[in-house]
Amino acid sequence: MTCELGSESAEPALRILYQDESCVVVDKPSGMIVHRGWANDDCDLLRVTRDAIGRYVYPLHRLDRGASGAVLFALNEHAARTLNRGFAEGSIGKRYLALTRGHPPEHGLVDHPIPRAPGEERVPAQTEYQRLGTFERYALVAVWPKTGRLHQIRRHLKHLSCPLIGDVRYGKGEHNRWFREHYAFERLALHAAALRFVHPLTEQPITVRVPLVGSFARCLAALSLQDAANAAIARDFAD
């Protein structure tokens, strides 16, 4: 079965950000699952990517359905083993942008245990964050997860009493409705803005950045936060 992005989507079509013989990085649209597992949608990012490049792809990590941004797939078994080891060891850098209700401290580290998967016991989880700018009671935040747990960023920002806009599970309904009504913003305000990994064949560092487009970009522009978002995307990863 050929899987295609729905033509009715308000978000842009799939964008291939980086590709070579070992791996491919794509920009996942908000609203799409990465691959079948906890959900069984008719369409998923793995199949969309496979059909777009005409090659088998190996899943490596997940991104929440409502989030957008960088997702890395391997294109052969060696690359899959090597990159999976990088994710397991925490050596792959990930930077997210989030729009929150409430202002977190300027910079900090959330160290709060959460489950790896539904129904499992809580395990250690850490998320570093930096407040980039504010608009009234809302804030743009850059986030660096140090571990990979279920809904980690969403749970940790809620732990700071700063839930994400558009988060129907952990957020605030009245604020989500406000953004839908005033900014036509109907998605989760979470974007995987940059990804850094060591190439599985050349062993050279690769950084892929994902510019904001669609409703998230328009919303941040209306809040005068787009320049801060673009600067955070362009920033180099700290060694």
- pLDDT by residue (tens digit) across 40-51? 667 889 999 999
**pLDDT for position 96:** 98
Average pLDDT over residues 218-235: 97
Give, to the nearest 10 degrees, the angle between helix 214-222 and helix 173-183: 90
Q: Where are the beta strands (DSSP E) in the chain?
A: 15-19, 23-28, 58-59, 68-74, 93-101, 107-111, 114-115, 122-123, 126-135, 138-145, 190-198, 205-209
Nearest to 128 by CA among 113, 114, 147: 147
Taking the mean position of all CA atoms in its chain, how far away is CA 230? Answer: 15
Q: Are 31 and 152 in contact (CB under 8 A)?
A: no
209 DSSP β-pair partners: 194
Q: Are 103 and 131 in contact (CB under 8 A)?
A: yes
Q: Is position 64 annotated as part of the catalytic site?
A: yes
Average pLDDT over residues 116-142: 93
Domain range summary for the chain, segments of one domain joined by +: 15-231
Q: Of 1-10, 135-144, 172-181, 197-206, which range is least confident?
A: 1-10
Neighbours of 205 (CB within 10 A): 12
149 or 100, which is more confident: 100
User: Annotated catalytic residue: which of 64, 167, 236, 239?
Assistant: 64
Q: How confident is the model at residue 207 (pLDDT cuts 50, 70, 90)?
A: very high
Indicate the pTM of the whole model: 0.91
- Say how many CA atoms lie within 13 Å of 185 toward its Cβ: 25
SS3 37: coil
**pLDDT for position 3:** 55
Domain 15-231 carries which CATH code?
Answer: 3.30.2350.10
